A and B are shown apart, each in its own frame.
Chain A
Amino acid sequence: MKRLLLNTEFKNLLREKVAVIIAAFSILLAGLAFLNGHFFSQSQSEVVEAAWTSQQHNITEAATQLPLRLSTTEPVKWWQDRYDLRAQAFYVMVNYATKPPLPASPIAIGQADVLPYYFRMLVQEKQQVVQQYDYVHPLNLLLGQFDLSFVLIYLLPLLIIGICFNALSNEQHSGQLRLLLLQGGSAGQLLTIQILLRGAIVLLPFLVISNLFFMLFREQIELQTLTNFTLITLLYGGFWLALCAWVNSRGKGAATNAAILVTCWLSFVVVLPALINTFITHADPTPSRIQYIDSLRASTDEAKKAAEKTLAQFFQDHPELASSSASGSDFATKKIATINAVEQAMQAFDEQYQQIQQAQLGKAMWLKYLSVATLTHSILVELSGNGLVRHNAFMAQVQRHHQALQSFFATGIVEANQKGDFSPCKGCNARPTITDLSTLPQFDKDFPTPNVNLAPMLWLIVLSLLLIHRTSRNVGVLAAPQTSKVVV
């Protein structure tokens, strides 16, 4: 009987043009979304690659041109001299901190188009460093990227609803259900076969195309990532199929089913996420960046006004430099001391942002369970490496690198100053104080990224099981009067 039902349903679907259209749509959307995400990630990879190439090129070029610099008798402006530690520190250093996109990046662009993924490092206040960003059209940010997560979260449920909203109700209202029951079939069997087959028409093309494209275009992708992606897709799709089955099992007309399902989609995918987001941002509002700039400005002024005091404080914090420094109060050391003072003054404000973000994340962690869309999105974004977990790990690494550079230059400049390298004689050029640029601290790209936690997806399984349970009860009730009527 099951095979007969399966065959009949399959033939019916083939006869209906809608099934073919929906399968074609699923293929088209998966292909388009993958390619869009892929090209986006590729463009970021190219920028990261270009940054590293220019860094390496700069090191090589400096090594090649060193003899020329050593032999020159022409006046050299120290702030343009790549062999001068001060120029390297504040003006000419080519040193990048980068976050290359992961092979899984096309799954969900997430915040990758908004958050900075590379920084040109100089010795300056970290507040000046971290505000760099890639200029993209703001409309593009407002509308977001057309990626696999968008198709999966927004569009696939609509396709599922479009193909499943009249399952069972057609048979019920045309009287075919009675015939089926008389022949020994069950409404539950029919509904299961209809929903699974229709779900497969939507989900399978999407999964086949996206996995195939991943293997073709993103060769380094791990099997584990693809398995996780497939699992998440199936669970999310499974929830919508279970919802369709439950709505259909209530025995209402097709139009009513469609209206209910669309309302559910609207609530889960559009309204609830917007409400959750609004709630989070109002419960823990992010401090104003305008006020932050004001504080930064005030702290910088304060540090500059008290330059000598700032310097004294700097040497107090770094006694290893003070003890060997005979005339430490040169321009560069003062500048580093001022930078230090500004960073210290701003630390409280920066921590405030981190605390607020943590508070928002804490709320988001629980509230995301209210909507299957937010739950799935949060996991997909982390799986693709474009979420906050990896970004925060990157920023922590940037911070370490920033401190390493500051410490490197602070020490080098004080020592060079002590040796009189910056002014060996009146009117002559400063001595080269850094001849091998490869000795500069390099950014370590292998920053630790925590594994993606798939446990929240259990909630989807629970919801789907509940819906299936309710469906089986409804189908039992639905089938009973049909049978008795016929028997009578």
Chain B
Amino acid sequence: MFRQTLTKEWLDAKRQGQLWWLCLIASLLLLLACTTGWQNYQSYQSDAYDVAQQEQTRWLNQGEKGPHSAAHYGIYVIKPATPLVALDDGLQAYQGNVVRLEAHTRNDGMFRTVQDNLPMARFGSLTPAFVLQVLLPLLILLIGYPMFASEREQGTLKQLLASGVEPLQLFAAKCCVLFAIAATLLLPVIVYLLFIQFEQNESAKLAYRSAGFFVVYISYVALWSIITIAISCLLKSSRRSLIVLLTIWALSTLLIPKLAMNYSTGVYPLDSNQAFQNRLKREVYTDHREMAFERFEQSLLQKYAVSSTSELPFDFAGARLQFGEQYADAIFDRLFGERLEQLQSQTDSYFLASLLSPMIAVQSLSMAFSASDFHHHQHFLARAELHRRMMQRVLNHNQRDHAHKSEGQYVANLSLWQQIPKFEYHPPAFTDLTHHYRVNWFSLVLWLTASLLLGTFAVRKLTKEPLR
């Protein structure tokens, strides 16, 4: 019986003239988006790889110089992208993916791509994520809104139910057909997800991410399919069902995400860069710092029982530089930590709004699986900062241990530059950051449950349909 119902629903759907046009347009858009996404990813990765190599060569070939000059010379590190960025580039363009690592300073990422864009870019680009998160639900509701409502209007629904078709089966059959049509549109994405498994080295990590990515979107398709059919079933006319579904779509994809983020940034405001940099300078370069230097010098003199720094068994300038770095690092940790806390609060507050909009949950999880979201970027920045500190430590310790032995100005060479390993960044395993996305998972499950409950309610109402 279910198979017959399914066949009937499939034939009904096929007869809808608009179905093929909508599917064709959506497929073309998705294919175009996937192609441009792949091109962008390839070009970014190639640039990132080439420039990282160049930078390493430059570092090694910087010639003979003092270790502290090398520390100021520094190095630029670039955040690599995962292949999933081709499907969802998330926040890649909105945060600087290059960081300069140098002495005394903790820098933010440089050159956000979005700064080079025209104002028109704020309408959004055609990316697979945009098609999947915004357009696909619209396609589902445009195909699905008349599935029950128009049958009711034409009077065929009562006939069907009177002929002994189980309401639950009918509802399930319509859901299955709608889900199958929408899921078919995910094919290019599925093919790409499979393709990258064979292309990449770290296939285990990537497989996990790809599977997660797929689960998120298939759940999203299921969610919208059930909601669409349930609304179509609950409302009397196809007109009302279309209006209600469109309102839900506009609220969840356009209005709530924007309002939620604007609200979050209003409630947890950030200092301007000017204020932040002033604060950094004010807190690092203080009399307290000079006194700390003084105490450090005295403690060394006392420890080694000497009266002047020139009598120390190492170069005092090198030790002082490292002390200065550690002193500044503690302040960086506090001030950058405070800023990160505010940013984290903004993110959490936004994630909480996923209880109101399933799109927020899906968008956040999709970016997370693609490693193109805020948390992954912070992970990269933290790793870059650790590398910077290691660089400074190695260089300062080298000066401390060797500068006093040299006659004239001490210069280091290739052997020291080689002691600093190349910065190799790999996004963490998704499980390491899962705790950040609990709300999103919870919301997605909650939305799925709510849609199933709505479906159950609709089926109950359908049971009473012949009596209406």
Report A's interface with B, CB cutoff 8 A.
Answer: 32, 36, 39, 43, 47, 50-51, 54, 96, 110-111, 114-116, 118, 120, 131-146, 150, 154-155, 158, 162, 166, 253-255, 258-259, 262-263, 266, 270-271, 273-278, 280-282, 286, 288-294, 297-298, 301, 353, 357, 360-361, 364, 368, 373-374, 377-378, 381, 386-388
Contact = CB atoms under 8 A, between A and B. Distances in A.
B190 to A, nearest CB: 23
Interface string B130-164: 10001100100010001000000000000000000
Interface string B105-141: 0001011111111111111111000100011001000
Contacts of A43: 269, 272
A293 B275 CA distance: 26
Contact of A47 (B32, B55, B262, B272): B272
A120 B58 contact: no
Contact of B108 (A110, A135, A262): A135
B213 interface: no
Nearest to A267: B25
Contacts of A132: 273
B304 interface: no
With most chain A CB atoms within 10 A of its CB, the pick from B29, B130, B146, B258 is B258
B112 A290 contact: no
B176 interface: no
Nearest to B344: A137
Contacts of B277: 120
Contacts of A120: 274, 277
A143 B120 contact: no
Interface string B322-362: 00000000000000000100010011001000000000000
Contact of A289 (B116, B135, B270): B116
**Which 7 residue pairs are nearest across A and B when measured between Cβ atoms?**
A273-B123, A138-B94, A289-B111, A138-B91, A278-B126, A47-B272, A141-B94
A374 B239 contact: no
B259 interface: yes
B54 interface: yes
Contacts of A143: 257-258, 261-262
Interface in B25-62: 29, 32-33, 36, 39, 43-44, 47-48, 50-51, 54-55, 58
A433 B47 CA distance: 46
Q: How large is the interface on B (under 10, 10 to 19, 20 to 34, 35 or more residues)?
A: 35 or more
B124 A274 contact: yes
B388 interface: no
Contact of B58 (A96, A141, A275, A301): A301
B398 interface: no
Contacts of A158: 246, 250
B78 interface: yes
A262 B274 contact: no
B274 A51 contact: yes
Contacts of B179: none
B150 to A, nearest CB: 8
B95 A255 contact: no
Contact of B339 (A135, A166, A273): A135
Given A139-B91, A281-B125, 12 more contacts: A111-B117, A114-B117, A116-B115, A136-B265, A137-B347, A137-B374, A139-B261, A290-B44, A293-B98, A294-B55, A373-B123, A388-B118
B121 A277 contact: yes
Contacts of B114: 114, 141
A432 B354 CA distance: 60
A335 B78 CA distance: 28
Given A136-B265, A258-B242, A357 B55 contact: no
B246 A277 contact: no
Nearest to A282: B36
A278 B36 contact: yes
Nearest to A54: B278
Contacts of B47: 288, 290-291
B239 A368 contact: no
Contact of A277 (B44, B120, B146, B254): B120
Contacts of B68: none
Nearest to B149: A255
B255 interface: yes
Given A270-B134, A388-B118, A278 B125 contact: yes
Nearest to B364: A139
Contacts of B54: 294, 297
B120 A377 contact: yes
B425 interface: no
B382 interface: no
A255 B239 contact: yes
Contacts of B238: 255
Contacts of B112: 114, 133
A254 B48 CA distance: 54
B135 A144 contact: no
Interface in B260-289: 261-262, 264-266, 269-270, 272-278
Contacts of A50: 272, 274-275
Nearest to B240: A255
B429 interface: no
Given A137-B346, A138-B95, A150-B258, A114 B51 contact: no
A133 B272 CA distance: 9
Contacts of B242: 255, 258-259, 262
14 contacts: A47-B272, A47-B275, A111-B122, A131-B110, A135-B276, A135-B339, A258-B243, A278-B36, A281-B121, A289-B110, A289-B111, A290-B44, A353-B116, A364-B120
Contacts of A114: 112, 114-115, 117
B237 interface: yes
Nearest to B39: A282
Contact of A290 (B98, B258, B347, B350): B98
Contacts of B275: 47, 50
B214 interface: no
A462 to B, nearest CB: 21
A271 B123 CA distance: 9
Contacts of A266: 135, 138
Contacts of A282: 36, 39
